[in-house]
């Protein structure tokens, strides 16, 4: 009997959480407060979408490749969590609620929150360089390729660049606030949200030994998935409550940020997200990668309520 999405997510979360606890530094290797702060955010719950996508992409290539992709899955979650910590800071989104509880800077102060984010970012790349501990030429090649994909996605051409454009659009960066049209909004989200989602899937397929055509297909799938995820996020910010979302609702509209609903309206935005998922499913179907959980994850993205 095929594994259900719920069973896969439960299995994957256990693997990722146990590995994160094992790989995150703790005293005496680091000060106790920074170890606590990193764990406060990394184990605050959340969907674990990105590491689950890493594992799902790996298993779509080779069902036995979970162990090989696990370090990349954990590194991705560290980078994602660091970005949330920094996004919540007063200098950025100034949010006080994340994953249903007070944000890290509210509990530990701005300074420790910044350092915890910095620490998670650095630990992610240390982990990518060190694991899995298989030093064959082929595995070293895969690790370097995955490390580069993730580094680019997290950097100025990816997540950091997208967040910078977001600040500019909200008038929080030097100079005049910029006004984004629909095409520019999509480009911003391709960097801010989509880049790390694409890297999640591509790194999993890479660590599993996927061929270039398979990795290209996974990348195209994840690009569509990332856009759909962001569109749904924008819709939920309009329609959801803080209790449902585990974070402040309506903050995009309050900050006058450009969103898909503000340009297209809610119903058209939902149609655009569904179109993305249709294209994502077609890509993996053509590549023979429909077995496993990639299709189920895509369908969940447009049906989720938080």
What is the mean pLDDT of the segment spanning 233-253? 67
Partners of 97 in beta bridges: 102
pLDDT in tens, 250-270: 565 555 678 999 999 999 999
User: Residue 16 sits in which domain range?
Assistant: 5-303
Res 244 pLDDT > 60: no
List, in order, residues 6 or more apart from 234 with CB less than 8 Å away: 252, 259, 260, 261, 269
**105 in Cβ contact with 90 (< 8 Å):** yes
When the pLDDT of each residue in the chain is averaged and rounded to a whole number, the result is 93
What is the mean pLDDT of the segment spanning 219-235? 96
pLDDT of residue 291: 83
pLDDT in tens, 119-157: 999 999 999 999 999 999 999 999 999 999 999 999 999
pLDDT of residue 177: 81
Res 204 pLDDT > 80: yes
pLDDT of residue 206: 98
Residue 176 pLDDT level (bands cut at 50, 70, 90): confident
Distance separating alpha carbons of residues 53 and 222, to the nearest angstrom? 9
- Of the listed ranges 108-112, 170-174, 288-292, 295-299, the least confidently predicted one is 170-174
Half-sphere exposure of 272 (CA within 13 A, CB side): 22
Distance separating alpha carbons of residues 87 and 91, to the nearest angstrom? 8
pLDDT of residue 210: 97
Total tally of structural domains belonging to the chain: 1
Q: Which helix (H) or strand (E) holds 37?
A: helix 32-42
Res 283 pLDDT > 80: yes
pLDDT of residue 45: 87
pLDDT of residue 171: 85
Partners of 98 in beta bridges: 101
pTM, two decimal places: 0.93
CATH of residue 93's domain is 1.10.600.10
pLDDT of residue 246: 57
pLDDT of residue 33: 98
pLDDT of residue 305: 83
What is the mean pLDDT of the segment spanning 42-71? 96
pLDDT of residue 294: 97
Q: Does residue 156 or residue 99 have the better pLDDT?
A: 156
What is the mean pLDDT of the segment spanning 290-301? 93
């Amino acid at each position: 009997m095929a594994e259900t999405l719920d069973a896969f997510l439960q299995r994957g979360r256990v693997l990722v959480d146990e590995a994160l606890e094992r790989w995150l530094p703790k005293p005496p290797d680091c000060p106790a407060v920074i170890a606590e702060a990193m764990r406060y955010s990394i184990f605050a719950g959340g969907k674990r979408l990105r590491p689950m996508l890493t594992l799902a992409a790996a298993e779509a290539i080779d069902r036995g490749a979970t162990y090989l992709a696990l370090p990349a899955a954990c590194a991705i979650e560290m980078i994602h969590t660091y970005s949330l910590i920094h996004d919540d800071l007063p200098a950025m989104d100034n949010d006080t609620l994340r994953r249903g509880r007070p944000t890290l800077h509210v509990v530990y102060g701005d300074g420790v929150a910044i350092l915890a984010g910095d620490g998670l970012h650095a630990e992610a790349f240390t982990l990518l360089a060190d694991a899995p501990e298989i030093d064959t030429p082929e595995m070293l090649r895969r690790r370097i390729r995955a490390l580069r994909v993730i580094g680019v996605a997290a950097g100025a051409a990816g997540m950091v660049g997208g967040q910078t454009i977001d600040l500019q659009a909200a008038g929080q960066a030097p100079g005049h606030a910029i006004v984004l049209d629909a095409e520019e909004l999509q480009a911003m989200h391709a960097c801010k949200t989509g880049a790390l989602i694409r890297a999640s899937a591509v790194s999993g397929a890479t660590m599993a030994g996927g061929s270039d055509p398979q990795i290209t297909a996974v990348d195209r799938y994840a690009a569509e998935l990332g856009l759909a995820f962001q569109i749904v996020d924008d819709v939920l910010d309009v329609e959801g409550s803080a209790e449902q979302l585990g974070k402040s609702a309506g903050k995009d509209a309050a900050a006058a940020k450009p969103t898909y609903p503000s340009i297209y309206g809610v119903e058209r935005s939902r149609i655009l997200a569904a179109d993305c998922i249709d294209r994502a499913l077609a890509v993996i179907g053509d590549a023979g990668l429909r077995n496993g959980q990639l299709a189920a994850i895509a369908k969940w993205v447009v049906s989720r309520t938080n």
